[in-house]
Structure 1
Amino acid sequence: MTVAMADGSLPSSVVTALYLRTKALHVEAERTGIIRELLRGSATRDGYILLLRNLLPAYRAMEQGLARHLKTPGIGALARYRLDRAPAIESDLVVLCGHAWHHDVPLLPAGGNYARRIAEAVKGNGSRLIAHAYTRYLGDLSGGLILQRLLARSLDLRPAELSFYDFPKYPDLAALKAAYREALDRAGSLASDPTNVIEEGALAFTLNIDLSCAVQAALHPAANAPG
């Protein structure tokens, strides 16, 4: 399904097009898997740790890909923001469960699939990275503070365990979100095939849903066992 205006053209804003294309998937993501539990305040500490560990390879792949395209028009502007969530996730994992987290907390197949898809998006002109940056970074900036407060309350997490949601180089997160959205739109305007970017956004949300459900299934294997 491709998003189109009444005259059949694509929206001029790639962010708007991504929003329209992924709106239903966004709702589904919030209603399924570990994300549903997190938003309801019913997730466990182990569940949150497992989610972080499985998001980390995706962020690494995205951030390495953005760095690779530092001189690519449009994508390079996104890379220069250096939002760098992977180091923050690693820091949180160390505080949450120790330096052996990469041995103690499993990487699920869904986590590996997500990271591999982002690595594929890096190839060529890298324009599909726009969709992944939209899905992850703009999502972090949109709902991160709310989720940070929710996790602090429901899981009794300390600030040192929630640095994933902190952007210390940017004191005004509302301004950062607006500027990053504009940078995404500028990058999208330079994409040779905006439809590929928009469909990559739908795939990114699908991979997030798959990961969320996989985390929940790993935490509750008896509930997911066949009949």
Structure 2
Amino acid sequence: MTAATAENSAPVSVVTALYLRTKTLHVEAERTGIIRDLLRGEASREGYVLLLRNLLPAYQAMERGLERHRGSPGLGALARYRLDRAPAIQSDLIAICGKGWSRDIPLLAVGEVYAGRIAEAAEGAGARLIAHAYTRYLGDLSGGLIWQRLLARSLGLHPSELSFYDFPRFSDLEALKAGYRKALDRAGALVRDGDAVVEEGAVAFTLNIELSWAVQSATLKGSAAAAAAE
């Protein structure tokens, strides 16, 4: 987080530093695996559900970590937003798959690895959680409504199955996004090792890319097996 412009020697904000470090990975993520299929309208419900199921432990780990650091000056501000995507994911899984979703939908190895990495980031002062909050929450706030409309159209999902993209506690999503971005920057300004936070952002995007590939592969194998059984 030590990069500076020629006109200004002050360090860039953590959000800007994370954006600059991960923008190539961000593009790669949108062109990868199940995310690419979803954006093109080519994914199945099974693929989307498998993605949700494998994102859930990551959000649970992040939300537990933020709650643990609720009393800290930086992370406490992020925790108090209570964006709480894990309960929304669980609600969607029940709405789409029924109450037996946890039995019927597998947790892939990379899903476990992703959640484990976030749990590690929450240890100690928990500064690296800033990178995961940036990657997931700011991404959700930036593209949530687009994803909601896309999935409703391409997969025929109903509003009750798309609560992951709703933030009912907040009436103005643009104001929420702007406020959360400022909270991330304030938290980043209090971190001793900003470069570690920025590099954690690259790790977060890499894990998302690996998860996207794994979900696509598992979905294709499942479809092939179902076709062979007919």
Using the size of structure 2 for normalisation, the TM-score is 0.93
8 A contact 1:11–1:17 mirrored in 2:
no
Match in the other structure for 2:90: 90
Distance 2:215 2:111 in 1: 9
Match in the other structure for 1:31: 31
How far 1:222 sits from its partner (Å)? Answer: 8.8
After superposition, where does 1:30-179 map in structure 2 within 5 Å? 30-179=30-179
Structural RMSD (CA)? 1.8
Amino acid at match of 2:52: L
3-state secondary structure, aligned to 1:89: helix
8 A contact 2:4–2:12 mirrored in 1:
no
8 A contact 1:94–1:101 mirrored in 2:
yes
Match in the other structure for 1:5: 4
Distance 1:213 1:10 in 2: 39
8 A contact 1:134–1:184 mirrored in 2:
yes
How far 1:3 sits from its partner (Å)? Answer: 7.0
Render the CA deviation track for 1:33-84: whole Å, top value 9, x for unaligned: 1000111111100000000000000000000000000001100000000000
State the number of aligned residues. 223
Cα distance change, pair 55–10 in 1 and its aligned pair in 2 (3 A): farther
8 A contact 2:111–2:211 mirrored in 1:
yes
Distance 1:104 1:4 in 2: 47
- The 4+ residue runs of structure 1 with deviation greater than 6 A are 7-10
Moved more, 28-37 or 214-223: 214-223
Structure 1: 5+ residue runs without aligned partners? Answer: none
Amino acid at match of 2:33: G
3-state secondary structure, aligned to 1:218: helix
8 A contact 2:2–2:12 mirrored in 1:
no
Match in the other structure for 1:185: 185
3-state secondary structure, aligned to 1:106: coil
Cα distance change, pair 221–17 in 1 and its aligned pair in 2 (3 A): same
